[in-house]
Structure 1
Amino acid sequence: MSSDSAANDVHIASFVVQHRGEAASALATWIAASDDMELARSEGTRSIVLCECADQYGLLDRIEALRAVPGVLNVLLVYHHAEPGEALDMPMPTQPVTGAAP
């Protein structure tokens, strides 16, 4: 992969954030202020956060920033996917449904 291609990659990740119950509101506010993260779900002392960055270093920065929010106990990377940004704009191929398992 060329460096030009890597520069156009989009990195999509999800995190499970373990936190104290009283930290949920501050965490949600902090995530809402971010332009590349979204709070997908929050219940009790766990939240699921989605992140879309330009590179893996951005993801690592977001993990460290989430860990720094008061009341956050741990941040776990659950999923990470990278692909060229142009590929995300292309339509998904369709396959006919046959009704038979492969």
Structure 2
Amino acid sequence: MEQEIHIAGIVVYAQPEQIESIRSCIEDAPGAEVCATDSSGKLVVTLETDSTKRTLDIMDAIRALPGVLDVVLVYQHAEPIAALDQEVSQ
């Protein structure tokens, strides 16, 4: 089976007073990056994983963090990892 890369965009809704500890926990996950936060408690996160299952596992782990209210998937894309080496014509 060919290796794949899975890229997901998620929004994490959190209690504002816990946003920094939540951010730190998210960034400890391999392939997770917090791209933006706001004072109301929203975090925009990207995930790069090797499978849909791994993406969902990370989302579930984030959902279980103290102070997290909800985690919403807003974008998901998967393709063979070899496709990253292909040149794109314009």
TM-score range, shorter chain: over 0.9
TM-score (norm 1): 0.83
Specify the SS of the correspondent of 1:91. Answer: coil
Q: 2:19 aligns with which of 24, 29, 41?
A: 24
User: Which runs of 5 or more structure 2 residues have no equivalent in the other structure?
Assistant: none
* Equivalent residue number for residue 55 of structure 1: 51
TM-score (norm 2): 0.93
User: Which runs of 5 or more structure 1 residues have no equivalent in the other structure?
Assistant: 95-102
Question: Structure 1 vs Structure 2: percent identity of aligned residues?
Answer: 34
Q: Distance in 2 between matches of 1:37 and 1:90?
A: 24
User: Moved runs in structure 1, 4+ residues, more than 6 A?
Assistant: none
Counterpart check, 1:13 vs 2:28: no
Specify the SS of the correspondent of 1:87. Answer: helix
Q: Distance in 1 between matches of 2:53 and 2:13?
A: 22
Specify the SS of the correspondent of 2:29. Answer: coil
Higher gyration radius (CA): 1
Larger RCO (alpha carbons 8 Å, 6+ apart): 2
